[in-house]
């Protein structure tokens, strides 16, 4: 059984239709602090076309806005 404080978490934090920002949080085994990462996804017809990782929400949201403005391929 996994300790509740080490269970990974993924949560949608920003949505602009064709682009999404997902907050990932996890605690590696043996460490005392959580790690956090924001992933930006660009979608086209329900398929992920591009992914980018960011350490902070601000730059992730900025990238998602840019992704949302791109025309589908």
Kindly report, residue by residue over 24-57, the tens digit of the pLDDT.
999 888 888 889 999 999 998 889 999 999 999 9
Instruction: Give the whole-angstrom CA distance, residue 57 versus residue 64.
Output: 10
- Expressed as residue numbers, the domain containing 50 is 4-68
Query: Does residue 63 sit within a domain?
Result: yes
Is 48 inside a domain boundary? yes
Residues 6+ apart with CB under 8 A from 22: 10, 11, 12, 13, 38, 39, 41
Q: Which residues neighbour 66 within 8 Å (Cβ) at sequence distance 6 or greater?
A: none
Mean pLDDT on 63-72: 82
In a domain, residue 10? The reply is yes
């Amino acid at each position: 059984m996994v300790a509740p404080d080490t269970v990974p978490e993924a949560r949608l934090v920003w949505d602009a239709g064709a682009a999404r920002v997902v907050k990932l949080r996890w605690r590696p085994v043996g460490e005392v602090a959580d790690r956090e990462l924001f992933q930006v996804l660009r979608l086209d017809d329900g398929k992920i076309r591009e992914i980018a990782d960011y350490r902070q929400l601000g730059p992730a949201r900025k990238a998602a806005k840019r992704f949302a403005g791109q025309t589908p391929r």
